[in-house]
Amino acid sequence: METRVLNYFLKIAQLNNMSKAAEQLHITQPTLSRQIKTLEDSLGTKLFNRDNKKMTLTNSGIIFQKRAQQIVQLIAKAEQDVSDQQGLSGVVSIGCVESTVTNFLGTMIASFHSKYPHVRFSMYDADGDDIREKLDRGTVDLGFLLTPVELAKYNSVDLPVEDRWCLLVPKDDPIAKQTKISLEALRKLPLIIPSRNIIQSEILAWAKTPDSELHIVSSQNLLSNSLFLVKAGIGYAICASGAFSNRPDDDIVSIPIDTTTVIKHAMAWRKNYTLSQSTQTFIEFIKDEINNPDSLWQLYIKEKREKEN
């Protein structure tokens, strides 16, 4: 099965139209139709329902679409990695959570890019579980994760990045006037919490309460949609302070939660897996920057602490 045919199939699935797909692929419609028919014959199943000019995926087609996308992504990644061996270029693929670690990563990429301008970066925003799944599949090279996280099967480096737990509140809510939210007050509020089980367990641990005693109205993997729920008065969102500071909203206030628990971060990549030269170099670059007292990030942390004091 050729990658070219997989791309043909994916284009039709995207456009739901054979003629439009043929036009964008720069081939004739009869040629494209024959290629799809041959693909269906080789698989022994129909991939499309044909209704006049519209083509929709069958159940088998939906399953095949997911696998085809993964195959095409992996092949593209392999081609990037092979070309990367010819010199320090190519693409470093990164999955990153929403937190203060985004600022750290941006600083690292900026410094690295000034030294290696031909290396490009592909960024993917998600929660820790999604990022680890993509690490396992090989569709991202590096994961920047907040802890706690299961790292036993990965190589990892602890990062000099910390975050705090906070509560997001509508600006006109009476709670918005408070400078800190106590754990006792938190237990009485309708809450929107992160969806990852390991993070939920962490929250329950520092909140010192079972989930049956919390009023949980919703969960989230990323913060975006929760902001609308907060503004609508559905609940108050618990999140890492850096996740909100990266996308501030004038209608919402972030209030620190009265807990000593600090959110830490780690960089992870697959064990027993050959990384591209550019990815390996980027990992070593970050390790060096972490230990360099004069690095841009260390200077940033120093200035931040001086402002806070």
77 with 44, same domain: the answer is: yes
Residue 290 to residue 278: CA distance in whole angstroms: 18
Task: Identify the burial level of 239 via C-beta atoms within 10 angstroms of its C-beta, where 0-12 means exposed, 13-18 middle and 19 or more buried.
Answer: buried
- Angle, CA 247 vertex, CA 243 and CA 248 arms, to 5°: 105
Give the pLDDT score at 304. Answer: 65
Q: Give 65's contacts (C-beta < 8 A, 6+ positions apart).
A: 9, 10, 13, 57
Domain that holds residue 12: 3-81
User: How much of the chain is in helix, strand and coil states, percent to nearest 5?
Assistant: 50, 25, 25
- Answer yes or no: do 111 and 128 share one domain: yes
Does residue 167 sit in the same domain as residue 150? no
- The C-alpha torsion from 77 through 79 and 80 to 85, rounded to 10°, is 130
Domains identified in the chain, total number:
3
pTM of model > 0.85: no
Q: d(Cα 253, Cα 48) in Å, to the nearest integer?
A: 49
The string of pLDDT tens digits covering residues 58-80 is 999 899 998 888 888 878 777 66
**Residue 209 · residue 187 · CB < 8 Å:** yes
- Residue 87 confidence (pLDDT) above 60: no
Average pLDDT, the chain: 89
Same domain? For 55 and 116 the reply is no
CA–CA separation, 268 and 100 (whole Å): 17
Percent of the chain surpassing pLDDT 70: 93
**Is 288 found in the same domain as 250?**
no
Listed residue (139, 100, 103, 97) closest to 122, CA to CA: 139
Report how far apart, in Å, the C-alpha atoms of 213 and of each of 100, 184, 226, 272, 294 are.
30, 11, 21, 44, 47
- Asked if pLDDT for residue 84 goes beyond 60, the answer is no
Longest dimension (CA), the chain: 71
Asked if 244 and 169 touch (Cβ cutoff 8 Å), the reply is no
Q: Where are the beta strands (DSSP E) in the chain?
A: 48-51, 54-57, 91-96, 120-125, 142-146, 154-170, 190-194, 215-220, 236-240, 252-256, 262-270
pLDDT digits (tens, 9 = 90+) for 271-308: 988 898 899 999 999 999 888 777 767 766 776 666 66
Domain shared by 183 and 132, yes or no = no
Shared domain for 148 and 206, answered yes or no, is no
More confident residue, 249 or 87: 249
CA distances from 46 to 32, 66, 94, 222 (A): 15, 16, 36, 36
CATH number (domain holding residue 207)? 3.40.190.10
Taking the C-alpha atoms of residue 61 and residue 257, their distance in angstroms, rounded to an integer, is 48
Specify whether 169 is located in the same domain as 257. yes
pLDDT attached to residue 86: 46
By the 8 A CB rule, do 54 and 16 touch?
yes
